[in-house]
Amino acid sequence: MTPGRHARIAAVGSALPRRVVPNRYFESLVETSDQWIVERTGIHARRFAGAGETTASLSTEAARRALASAGTAPEAVDLLIVATCTPDRPLPSTAAFVQARLGMSCPAFDLNAACAGFVYGISVGTSQVTAGAADRVLVVGAEVLSRVLNMTDRTTCVLFGDGAGAALLEPGEDAGVIDSVLAMDGAQAELLTIPAGGSEEPTTAESLAKLRNTIHMRDGQAVFKQAVVAMAAAATELLDKAGLQPSDVDTVVAHQANARIILAVGKRLGIDPSKVFLDIAEVGNTSAASIPIALDRAWRSGRLSRGDLVLTAAFGAGLAWGANLIRWTADVPNDHA
Ligand code: ACO
């Protein structure tokens, strides 16, 4: 780390597909109901990508909004990180397509930490800025999960949605991104997985017929319980390291996996529910895109102000989880980007 060099978030942006999919859509596909989905998850609707909309196209749109709000030209970005577990293609990285579409010439790579991808990306990007290796790092979280859903599995198909969010990191005099905590328990990889389509089980007619190229979740309740404990523990570790209390946090922007999980994390930390931002009702679980979409919606609606202490926390496949502690340094945008 270069002494005295900090990283701050200059602006965020997001993009959602046009198509809104209400809970009722699933009632004709599986045995479920709008009431069950709302009560058990807090989700009312999500967005699904349509023709021509992909992880790269949504990433590009979200990145453009963040850059426009920061008043930064794409050519000024030194590093692009795209966090995703639903890339446009196995090869090359989604970041390659986004870099070209934005007219950038900087290095770019994908990062897969599933739902924790954006939290990981902010940590890596911050390290690049504080080390003096880069001035401006664009961190994108983007997913098109609708294309890896098993529409006959009611325990997963109702949970997920598509979208993208982006944050531009740049050097700041005071710490904007104060610190991060990252964690992984790979021994539990089988709990949440897409079994086929990789080197272990290449796509074949048989694997496709068995829908092994879709999300498989084993024991949703176990994932639920571990998510609450792990996110709260990461947040506590982060606050302790910074010498801060849960009561110092102005807004919690957690991964929107399930409203009950997010509220339980807030409760475990002793943070007032009014400080916990929720937008899962409209977007569902968008994995790596979830936190930057929520940050953008919170920011543009005036829920985040300069000087606020923002706590992010995420948990997902891997099992991977983590949290960032951020002093918000961006004024509410008036560019309507
Ligand atoms: N509609 C109606 N009934 C359903 C549905 C549905 N969509 N889904 C499950 N059920 C049924 C179950 O089959 C079960 O029925 P049974 O009692 O007859 O066996 C009953 O509802 C209760 O099931 P539970 O699993 O106990 O329900 P729970 O309250 O735990 O909610 C849920 C399930 C929403 C999946 C919850 O456990 C959860 O949110 N888990 C965490 C998921 C998550 O966070 N994933 C994040 C990572 S994703 C990633 O990394 C890509």
Residue 1 pLDDT level (bands cut at 50, 70, 90): low
Query: Which is nearest to 180 in space by CA: 120, 240, 269, 268?
Result: 120
Contact between 288 and 139 (Cβ < 8 Å): no
75, two tokens: 């050519």
Residue 164 pLDDT level (bands cut at 50, 70, 90): very high
User: How far does the chain reach from its first CA to its final CA, in angstroms?
Assistant: 33
Query: Which is nearest to 193 in space by CA: 289, 83, 46, 316?
Result: 316
Q: Write down the pLDDT at residue 331.
A: 80
CB 114 near ligand 1, within 6 Å: yes
What pLDDT digit, counting tens, does each position of 175-230 carry?
899 999 999 999 999 999 999 999 999 999 999 999 999 999 999 899 999 999 99
Distance between CA atoms of 120 and 183, rounded to whole angstroms? 9
Residue 122 pLDDT level (bands cut at 50, 70, 90): very high
What pLDDT digit, counting tens, does each position of 220-253 carry?
899 999 999 999 999 999 999 999 999 999 999 9
Rounded to 5 degrees, φ, ψ at 242 are: -90, -5
Report the CATH fold assignment for 178-327.
Peroxisomal Thiolase; Chain A, domain 1 (3.40.47)
What pLDDT digit, counting tens, does each position of 10-57 carry?
999 999 999 999 999 999 999 999 999 999 999 999 999 999 999 999
Atom of ligand 1 at shortest range from CA of 115: 50
Range in 2-6, 170-174, 327-331 with the lowest mean pLDDT: 2-6
CA of 306 to the centre of ligand 1 (A): 38
User: With b meaning 16 or more CB within 10 Å and e meaning fewer, what string describes 161-200?
Assistant: bbbbbbbbbbbbeebbbbbbbbbeeeebeebbbbbbbeee
Q: Write down the pLDDT at residue 4.
A: 78
Contact between 20 and 47 (Cβ < 8 Å): yes
Query: CB atoms < 10 A from the CB of 19, how many?
Result: 14
> For tokens 């992880």, what's the residue?
55
Decide if pLDDT at 307 tops 90.
yes
By percentage, how much of the chain surpasses pLDDT 90?
Answer: 94
Residue 93 pLDDT level (bands cut at 50, 70, 90): very high
Query: Which parts of the chain fold into alpha helices (H)?
Result: 24-27, 34-41, 55-70, 94-101, 117-130, 154-157, 205-209, 220-242, 259-269, 280-283, 290-300
CB 316 near ligand 1, within 6 Å: yes
CA of 220 to the centre of ligand 1 (A): 5
Same fold, 6-174 and 178-327: yes
**Which of 37, 224, 265 has the most ligand 1 atoms within 8 A of CB, as the residue to mutate?**
224
Q: Write down the pLDDT at residue 38.
A: 98
Among the four given CATH numbers 3.80.10.10, 3.40.50.300, 3.30.450.20, 3.40.47.10, the one describing domain 6-174 = 3.40.47.10
Please, which residues bridge with residue 253 across strands?
A: 312
Contact between 144 and 55 (Cβ < 8 Å): yes
Decide if pLDDT at 278 tops 90.
yes
Mean pLDDT over 281-285 rounds to 98
Sign of the Cα torsion 328, 330, 331, 337 reads: negative
Decide if pLDDT at 2 tops 80.
no
Mean pLDDT over 110-124 rounds to 98
Q: Write down the pLDDT at residue 46.
A: 98
In this structure, the strands spanning 251-254 and 309-316 are parallel
28, two tokens: 């004709």
**Which of 35, 39, 40 has the most ligand 1 atoms within 8 A of CB, as the residue to mutate?**
40
Decide if pLDDT at 127 tops 90.
yes
Contact between 23 and 34 (Cβ < 8 Å): yes
Question: Which of left, alpha, beta for 72 (phi over 0: left; psi -120 to 50: alpha)?
Answer: beta
Q: Write down the pLDDT at residue 335.
A: 62
Q: Write down the pLDDT at residue 159.
A: 98
Sign of the Cα torsion 52, 54, 56, 58 reads: positive
Q: What is the mean pLDDT of the chain?
A: 96
Distance between CA atoms of 99 and 111, rounded to whole angstroms? 15
Residue 173 pLDDT level (bands cut at 50, 70, 90): confident
Residue 332 pLDDT level (bands cut at 50, 70, 90): confident
In this structure, the strands spanning 137-144 and 108-111 are unpaired
Atom of ligand 1 at shortest range from CA of 219: 25
Q: Write down the pLDDT at residue 154.
A: 97
CA of 328 to the centre of ligand 1 (A): 34
> For tokens 């997902």, what's the residue?
316
What pLDDT digit, counting tens, does each position of 319-331 carry?
999 999 999 998 8
Residues annotated catalytic, as ranges:
115, 255, 285
Query: What are the sequence ranges of the domains in the chain?
Result: 6-174, 178-327
Decide if pLDDT at 336 tops 60.
no
